[in-house]
Amino acid sequence: MSNATIVICNYNYAAYLPVAIDSALTQSVGTTRVMVIDDGSTDNSHEIIQQYGDRITAIFQDNRGQVAAYNHALDQIDSTHVIFLDADDLLHPDAVKEVMAAFGSGDFVKVQFKLEVMTVDGMGTGVTVPQSSLVGDCGKLLRQGWLYPSPPGSGNAYRVEALRCIFPVPVSADNVYGADFYAIYGVPLLGNVCAIDRALGGYRVHRSTGRKPGAGGAADLAFANAEDSLAGARKAATRWAILREIVHDRLGETLPVRFFDFSSEKALFGNLLYRAPLARRWRWFTKESGSYFHTVIANPFWTLRKKMAVSCLTALCLVPFASLSDRAVRYIANPLARGGR
């Protein structure tokens, strides 16, 4: 029997919200609770939420951001497990059933599963995330500064008592979004993570709606919706510093000052090298690429074959042919460039 809550955090996603709510309500485990927290939306989200009546628990808060929404939800839910579903994503009908079976198979604080990347209209792209497999002890590797491969927020389920050791997370002008960072990288310090190696939901990409690779600028590299890739990479350093404080104060542990994450490094790499002159590309390779190549060569989650493949693709950025270099950058920086879309 399920003892899980699906929490949908929404801000001005009325265009996608009904799909997310319906996917939560139609779980094959009928006892799953559904909570929708609206973060002060100014579109017609309020009306959509009210249409569901008592089929969901609706919470309306002033616009304070995703971190505040996670904090609020963890004050309200009374289940043992929770999935935080983004309002523009969806879950497959058996998601909760499979997640709870995974929790029941061992002593896990988190169960993660792959997400199918969708276009703005919900069509599949042929890409799933994460693309790297979960191997090793996530907590041990986090204590060494390595951020392990995880799906976006909607692809994670947590034991609530573990989340409450990390949350509430401080809300400030510099810490409004990215609540899933603290959940994804904080909870594994408290126990084991189980990875389901198949897609149990969909991740909708809509930042660059109507633009195709090659259209120019950030649209060619965009993948995440809430932030562009460069902003996300820079914010990760701030979030890691906040997580270090939380872990030190509440768990009595000291995480490394520096973290290692290929996703952040490839975002910086893409924004520096895409459509850059040849001299700029070579300057990066000779003087600025140390952190990037460390997350490739020393990556504990990758096979030797993948390390060699990424290194060879990166080397293509040094050729004098801009079109070939830019294609290699797109392929590395944006998973959608590999899905035939």
pLDDT at position 208, please?
Answer: 44
**Domains in the chain, ordered, with CATH?**
4-206 (3.90.550.10), 270-338 (no CATH)
| pLDDT band per the 50, 70, 90 thresholds, residue 212 | very low
pLDDT at position 341, please?
Answer: 41
| pLDDT band per the 50, 70, 90 thresholds, residue 29 | confident
Range with the lowest mean pLDDT among 107-116, 222-231, 287-296? 222-231
Largest CA distance in the chain: 62
pLDDT tens column, 50-63: 999 999 999 999 99
- Residue 31, CB-side half-sphere exposure with 13 Å CA sphere: 9
Q: Look up residue 125 and give its two tokens.
A: 């792209």
CB 82 within 8 A of CB 163: yes
* DSSP label of 80: S
Q: What amino acid occupies position 96?
A: V
- For the chain, what is the mean pLDDT? 91
CB 179 within 8 A of CB 39: no
Is pLDDT larger for residue 13 or for residue 224? Answer: 13
Instruction: Give the C-alpha separation, 255 to 313, whole Å.
Output: 32
pLDDT at position 207, please?
Answer: 62
Q: Look up residue 153 and give its two tokens.
A: 């927020």
pLDDT at position 248, please?
Answer: 98
pLDDT tens column, 170-189: 999 999 999 999 999 999 99
CB 241 within 8 A of CB 256: no
Instruction: Give the C-alpha separation, 116 to 123, whole Å.
Output: 10
Rounded mean pLDDT, 251-258: 97
Instruction: Give the C-alpha separation, 198 to 195, whole Å.
Output: 9
Is pLDDT larger for residue 259 or for residue 209? Answer: 259
Rounded mean pLDDT, 96-100: 97
b/e map 314-329, b = 16+ CB within 10 Å? bebbeeeeeeebbbbb
Asked if pLDDT for residue 215 goes beyond 70, the answer is no
